């Protein structure tokens, strides 16, 4: 397993070993996050390459049609001879790089690609030009392990750094005059006043506004699982932090430190995200009241008015007839079930009916049956 | 009137339930988009069971309205294994296209059906090169990202032979669609598989050193492109889309009616009079909405497109619907209470709203009622115009 470090200067480069480490370099013009301009990034790219590193460049912004030409023109100014691969999320930019350069692609599939079929389709389409998938932090290690086995393309995931959870091209902070720009970006801390979540880092720069998780992701205390997951590379991105943390991390990794001791020393307030398990869809299903959902072809309709001691008004919506003498089952929204026999049917003018298909009908009031109760032919439905 | 009507975009309206589908169709939608119980992005909407899908598609097709089904969640492997049977079913009952955002879903759709594929805005397709990429995978229509302007759509259309669908009205994601996972990490709900908790609508305290303020800083104003129908048409947009599967019956009916009337008027006359636009804009205020803006349609959205207020429900809204019409009265299903002396508006499928002053009303058993209760039925004498039909919506102050 290799480590890919996002770096911004020579001092950071000197901490790393080109035999096992790789470097990611970015610039303000083309990348979501960087303190370097294109010229500074180009110089660092050359130095890193001359030092024996594989150099990857972040062209990871998304681009609308009107910005596309400017961005790709800037991109063409990079010293391609020193770059091993371009890291890209926008598929239009990926197409552009594929058709205008010989550079390899590291496809950023962190959002919207959580299945093997999709990743295989990318692999098939880009062929040998895609040499890495940067995969989502929502994939747990078991999925990573199976993907690593199933795909020909090596995988990379974030191992230590900020988790990006929101990206917009709109400038959401700078219009408040009171916040200070530092190196062409503004960073504030956002705390929800309607939930317990406090202290999201929010960063605005020329590409828009980015929100990150309150805590950094840190997986290196589970080094055994990282290795077992089959990831080809694990990314470390501490460009938002003091350079000393990177040094501390690199030195401890070199010493072979892992487990809780490493976490305590390096990232005590970090999270593991979904690396061990992803249960993000479990809670939400509970919001549904399945009892008032229409189910099958035995469906008759819905109670739309219940006038005590007078009538139940029913809107017949299903394809089946309702007849006097029919045995039906009524499912109340609270889950109570009643089996009843239809004794009378009337239209809204009070005329007696023998049967009715679709439309509106009245029947005898039944205690304990409410509006929105669902009617089915008896025994046709099992909840 | 023009000798030859102009080509105008299809009007695509959301339906969060079978009832809303019928409302949208009755009020003038050319096409409907909806979801089954799985695979969509709005798990909190009622959505459609298989029998409801069947009925909804029949209802729409009998009225020459198309139905697109959203499969636009970013699906995980276990979700995909359940998809092929569903695809076979929806193909059999006649779904006109599926709206997809994930390449894995696209491949599954292609491998198990001949369904037409539209790319969801969730995929954030923003440029011509990206449109070419998706076209190579068999996509026939792109719902462009909400960040794309009308002039950019024109450029994309010039470079790629593909249908373009574009949002014209409704709530906006503040993030690039598909690039927000706040709910995943704060609520344990996958925002890209139907669980969005709308964290962008919350109030936040922003802090930097000793500077602090409180703001709804990441909540977007609602999109309203009514005044730009001519520009949509000139840009070559094939379909204009209204957001809002979670929204009310009145919303579905009003937006369908307003935009279909405006599109038809432009199609037949080649222009929209300012007075007519003003009338329609006023209609679009008669349901709950945030402040309107054109957001990215003309230029990149600025700070003036942020909605800095807490959301409040409009006090003007749907009071009920007409269930049945008799010689002297109609039966109304009441959603919100009102009383004798109140003035209501009946919203016909076509034409101007009908004023309805409530002078008297009664229960189905003919007992006089002074004030209605929600979820009851009442008889109301027909207005003088008498042009009332079943399923007309009735609105007023709540």
Q: Does residue B4 sit within a domain?
A: no
CA–CA gap between residue A112 and residue B74 (Å, rounded): 5
> In whole angstroms, how large is the CA radius of gyration of chain B?
22
* Class of residue A6 by CB neighbours under 10 A (exposed 0-12, middle 13-18, buried 19+): buried
CA–CA gap between residue B322 and residue B214 (Å, rounded): 45
Cα→Cα distances B395→A161, B253, B280, Å: 53, 11, 16
Lowest mean pLDDT among A269-283, B105-119, B313-327, B345-359: A269-283
Neighbours of B349 (CB within 10 A): 17
CB A320 within 8 A of CB A276: no
Is B136 in the same domain as B66? yes
Residues B29-48, mean pLDDT to the nearest whole number: 80
**Between residues 226 and 285 of chain B, which touch chain A (CB distance below 8 Å)?**
none
* Class of residue A177 by CB neighbours under 10 A (exposed 0-12, middle 13-18, buried 19+): exposed
CA–CA gap between residue A18 and residue A22 (Å, rounded): 7
The predicted pLDDT at position B185 comes to: 86
pLDDT digits (tens, 9 = 90+) for B161-212: 999 999 999 999 999 998 999 988 888 888 877 778 889 999 999 999 999 9
Whether this model's ipTM surpasses 0.90 comes out as yes
Residue ending a domain, among B300, B327, B342, is B300
For A182, the closest chain B residue by CA position comes to: B208
Is B285 in the same domain as B330? no
pLDDT at B41 over 60: no
Is B17 in the same domain as B145? yes
pLDDT at A380 over 60: no
The predicted pLDDT at position A284 comes to: 52
pLDDT digits (tens, 9 = 90+) for A137-162: 999 999 999 999 999 999 999 999 99
Is B344 in the same domain as B259? no
Nearest Cα of chain A lies from the Cα of B236 at a distance, in angstroms, of: 16
Q: Does residue B279 sit within a domain?
A: yes
Residues B358-386, mean pLDDT to the nearest whole number: 94
Tokens of B94: 């006649």
Minimal CA–CA distance to B72: which of B33, B126, B23?
B33
**Between residues 18 and 57 of chain B, which touch chain A (CB distance below 8 Å)?**
18, 37, 43-44, 46, 49-52, 55
Contact B302 A171 (CB under 8 A): yes
Is B296 in the same domain as B339? no
The predicted pLDDT at position B187 comes to: 82
Q: Does residue B108 sit within a domain?
A: yes
Q: Does residue B210 sit within a domain?
A: no
The predicted pLDDT at position B51 comes to: 84
Contact A305 B376 (CB under 8 A): yes
For residue A381, report the phi and psi dihedrals to the nearest 5 degrees.
-125, 130
Cα→Cα distances A308→A105, A292, A364, B370, B376, Å: 70, 21, 10, 18, 11
**Between residues 122 and 181 of chain B, which touch chain A (CB distance below 8 Å)?**
122-134, 136-137, 145, 147-149, 151-152, 155-156, 174-176, 178-181
Query: Which chain B residues have a beta carbon less than 8 Å from that of A360?
Result: 323-324, 331
Is B104 in the same domain as B24? yes
Minimal CA–CA distance to A208: which of B241, B126, B153?
B126
pLDDT digits (tens, 9 = 90+) for A44-54: 999 999 999 99
- CA A126, A131, A137, A142 torsion-angle sign: positive
Task: Report chain B's mean pLDDT, rounded to a whole number.
Answer: 94
The rounded percent of chain A whose pLDDT value lies above 90 is 85
The predicted pLDDT at position B225 comes to: 98
CATH classification of the domain holding B122: 3.20.20.70
Q: Does residue B5 sit within a domain?
A: no
CB A270 within 8 A of CB B180: no
Is B227 in the same domain as B353? no
Neighbours of A41 (CB within 10 A): 24
| Chain CA centroid to CA A353, Å | 56
pLDDT at A282 over 60: no
Contact A64 B149 (CB under 8 A): yes
Contact A65 B152 (CB under 8 A): yes
Domain hosting residue B385, numbered range: 316-397
For residue A3, report the phi and psi dihedrals to the nearest 5 degrees.
-115, 130
β-partners of residue A338 are A330
In chain A, what are the domains?
Answer: 2-163+213-266 (3.20.20.70), 290-377 (2.40.30.10)
Instruction: Please check whether residue B215 touches A, CB under 8 A.
Output: yes
| DSSP state at residue A31 | S
Domain count, chain B: 2
CB B212 within 8 A of CB A190: no
CA–CA gap between residue B132 and residue B160 (Å, rounded): 6
Residues B74-90, mean pLDDT to the nearest whole number: 90
The rounded percent of chain A whose pLDDT value lies above 70 is 94
pLDDT at B330 over 70: yes
Could you say which of A180, A189, A193 has the minimum Cβ distance to residue B202? Answer: A193
Is B325 in the same domain as B266? no
Q: How confident is the model at residue A283 (pLDDT cuts 50, 70, 90)?
A: very low
Is B69 in the same domain as B183? yes
Q: Does residue B170 sit within a domain?
A: yes
Residue ending a domain, among B272, B300, B328, is B300
pLDDT digits (tens, 9 = 90+) for A84-140: 999 999 999 999 999 999 999 999 999 988 899 999 999 999 999 999 999 999 999
Is B275 in the same domain as B327? no
Is B278 in the same domain as B363? no
What is the secondary structure of B232-288 as a DSSP string? HHHHT-SEEEE--TTS-HHHHHHHHHHHHHHHHHHHHHS---HHHHHHHHHHTTSS-
Instruction: Please check whether residue B81 touches A, CB under 8 A.
Output: no
């Amino acid at each position: 397993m290799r480590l890919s470090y996002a770096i911004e200067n020579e001092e950071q480069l000197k901490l790393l070993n080109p035999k096992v480490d790789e470097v990611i370099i970015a610039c303000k013009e083309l990348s979501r996050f960087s303190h370097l301009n294109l010229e500074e990034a180009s110089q660092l790219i050359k130095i890193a390459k001359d030092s024996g590193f594989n150099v990857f460049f972040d062209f990871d912004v998304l681009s609308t049609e009107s910005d596309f030409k400017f961005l790709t023109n800037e991109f063409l100014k990079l010293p391609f001879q020193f770059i091993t691969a371009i890291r890209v999320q926008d598929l239009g930019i990926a197409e552009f790089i594929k058709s205008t350069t010989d550079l390899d692609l590291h496809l950023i599939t962190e959002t919207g690609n959580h299945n093997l079929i999709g990743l295989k389709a990318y692999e098939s389409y880009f062929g040998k030009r895609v040499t890495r998938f940067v995969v989502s932090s929502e994939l747990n290690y078991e999925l990573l392990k199976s993907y690593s086995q199933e795909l020909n393309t090596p995988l990379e995931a974030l191992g230590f750094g900020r988790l990006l959870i929101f990206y917009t091209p709109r400038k959401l902070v700078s219009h408040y005059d009171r916040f200070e720009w530092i190196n062409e970006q503004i960073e504030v801390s956002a705390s929800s006043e309607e939930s317990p979540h406090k202290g999201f880092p929010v960063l605005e720069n020329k590409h828009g506004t980015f929100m990150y998780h309150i805590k950094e992701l840190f997986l290196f205390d589970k080094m055994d699982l990282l290795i077992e997951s089959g990831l080809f590379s694990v990314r470390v991105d501490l460009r938002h932090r003091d350079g000393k943390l990177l040094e501390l991390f690199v030195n401890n990794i070199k010493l072979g430190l892992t487990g809780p001791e490493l976490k305590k020393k390096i990232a005590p307030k970090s999270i593991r995200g979904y690396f061990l398990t992803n249960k993000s869809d479990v809670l939400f299903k509970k919001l549904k009241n399945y009892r008032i959902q229409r189910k099958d072809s035995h469906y008759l309709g819905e109670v739309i008015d219940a006038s005590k001691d007078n009538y139940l008004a029913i809107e017949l919506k299903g394809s089946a007839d309702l007849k006097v003498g029919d045995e039906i089952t009524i499912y109340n929204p609270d889950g109570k079930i009643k089996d009843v026999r239809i004794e009378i049917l009337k239209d809204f003018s009070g005329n007696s009916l023998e049967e009715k298909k679709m439309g509106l009908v009245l029947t005898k009031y039944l205690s304990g049956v409410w509006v929105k109760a669902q009617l089915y032919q008896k025994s046709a439905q099992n909840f | 009137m023009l000798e030859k009507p102009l080509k105008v975009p299809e009007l695509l309206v959301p339906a969060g339930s079978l009832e809303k589908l019928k409302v949208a169709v009755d009020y003038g939608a050319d096409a409907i988009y909806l979801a089954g119980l799985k695979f969509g992005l709005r798990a909190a909407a009622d959505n459609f069971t298989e029998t409801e899908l069947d009925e909804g598609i029949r209802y729409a097709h009998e009225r020459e309205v198309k139905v697109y089904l959203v499969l636009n969640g970013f699906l995980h492997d276990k979700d995909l294994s359940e998809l092929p049977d569903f695809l076979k079913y929806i193909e059999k009952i006649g779904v006109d296209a599926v709206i997809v955002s994930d390449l894995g879903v696209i491949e599954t759709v292609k491998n198990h059906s001949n369904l037409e594929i539209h790319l969801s805005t969730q995929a954030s397709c923003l440029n011509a090169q990206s449109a070419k990429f998706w076209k190579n995978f068999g996509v026939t229509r792109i719902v462009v990202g909400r960040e794309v302007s009308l002039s950019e759509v024109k450029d994309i259309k010039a470079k790629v032979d593909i249908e373009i669908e574009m949002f014209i009205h409704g709530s906006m994601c503040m993030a690039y669609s598909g690039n927000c996972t706040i709910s995943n990490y704060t609520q344990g709900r996958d925002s890209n598989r139907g669980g969005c908790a709308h964290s962008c609508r919350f109030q936040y305290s922003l802090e930097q050193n000793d500077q602090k303020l409180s703001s709804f800083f990441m909540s977007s104003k609602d999109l309203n492109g009514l005044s730009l129908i001519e520009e949509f048409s000139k840009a070559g947009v094939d379909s204009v889309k209204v957001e809002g599967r979670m929204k009310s019956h009145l919303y579905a009916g009003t937006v369908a009616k307003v935009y279909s009337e405006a599109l038809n008027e432009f199609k037949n006359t080649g222009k929209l009079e300012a007075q007519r636009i003003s009338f329609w804009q006023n209609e679009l205020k008669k349901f709950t909405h945030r402040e309107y803006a054109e957001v990215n349609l003309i230029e990149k959205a600025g700070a003036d497109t942020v909605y800095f207020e807490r959301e409040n429900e409009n006090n003007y809204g749907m009071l009920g619907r007409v269930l049945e019409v008799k010689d002297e009265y109609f039966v109304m299903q009441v959603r919100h209470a009102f009383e004798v002396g109140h003035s209501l508006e009946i919203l016909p499928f076509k034409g101007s709203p009908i004023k309805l002053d409530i002078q008297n009303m009664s229960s189905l058993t003919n007992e006089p009622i002074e004030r209605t209760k929600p979820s009851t039925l009442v008889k109301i004498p027909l207005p003088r115009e008498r042009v009332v039909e079943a399923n007309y919506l009735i609105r007023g102050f709540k």
